[in-house]
């Protein structure tokens, strides 16, 4: 199956170099904290009017909440997909638990990146790049299948786009 072939191709990159593995661990587990801080710093240091900043922040937070704690949580409740390291002999270089599909990290960061992109294209592109790096590193680290990432990305994108569209209809600050 294509999902497993891509998993093995990417996962086989791990375990070859301590430095590479350290970069993957940073991307998979720690970059997320910097992204939150960078977003808040960019937003509150920007020249947007104060009300637009609050609408921007509200849109990003609501997108993340609905995508992760709404849609993805419902899927996790009704559908359990075991993580790759429970099924295959992969190089697992970070820890993870729970259902694999959809990726919570991909759902979170693609919802965030999409909402940011819809307000500010330049910032959004950087957040999409970071989302891809975080998500791909989690496949390399052996805790997700590529389809987990794709599912999370689709959910995150769709939810953020829908919420942005609804907020744009009801707010003059978008």
pLDDT exceeds cutoff 80 at 83: yes
For 12-34, the pLDDT digits (tens) are 999 889 999 999 999 999 999 99
- Range of the structural domain that residue 121 is part of: 2-170
pLDDT of residue 174: 62
- What is the C-alpha separation between 132 and 144, in angstroms, rounded? 13
Helix axis angle for 121-140 and 31-45, nearest 10°, is: 170
Instruction: Tell me how far apart the alpha carbons of residues 53 and 108 are, in angstroms, rounded to a whole number.
Output: 20
The pTM for the full model equals 0.92
CATH of residue 146's domain is 1.20.144.10
Could you report how far apart the first and last alpha carbons of the chain are, in Å?
43
How many domains in the chain? 1
pLDDT (tens digit per residue) in 34-60: 999 999 999 999 999 999 999 999 999
Greatest Cα pair distance in the chain: 53
Number of other residues whose CB lies within 10 A of the CB of residue 16? 10
The total of other beta-carbon atoms located within 10 Å of residue 172's CB is 8
């Amino acid at each position: 199956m294509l999902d497993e072939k891509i998993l093995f191709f990417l996962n086989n990159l791990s375990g070859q170099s301590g430095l590479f593995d350290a970069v993957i661990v940073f991307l998979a587990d720690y970059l997320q904290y910097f992204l939150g801080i960078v977003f808040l710093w960019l937003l509150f240091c920007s020249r947007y009017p104060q009300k637009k900043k609050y609408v921007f922040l509200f849109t990003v937070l609501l997108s993340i909440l609905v995508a992760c704690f709404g849609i993805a949580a419902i899927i996790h409740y009704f559908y359990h997909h075991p993580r790759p390291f429970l099924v295959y002999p992969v190089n697992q270089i970070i820890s993870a638990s729970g259902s694999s599909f959809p990726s919570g990290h991909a759902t979170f960061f693609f919802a965030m990146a999409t909402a940011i992109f819809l307000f500010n294209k330049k910032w959004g592109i950087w957040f999409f790049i970071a989302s891809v790096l975080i998500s791909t590193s989690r496949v390399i680290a052996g805790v997700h299948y590529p389809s987990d990432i794709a599912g999370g990305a689709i959910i995150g994108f769709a939810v953020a786009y829908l919420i942005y569209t609804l907020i744009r209809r009801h707010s003059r600050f978008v």
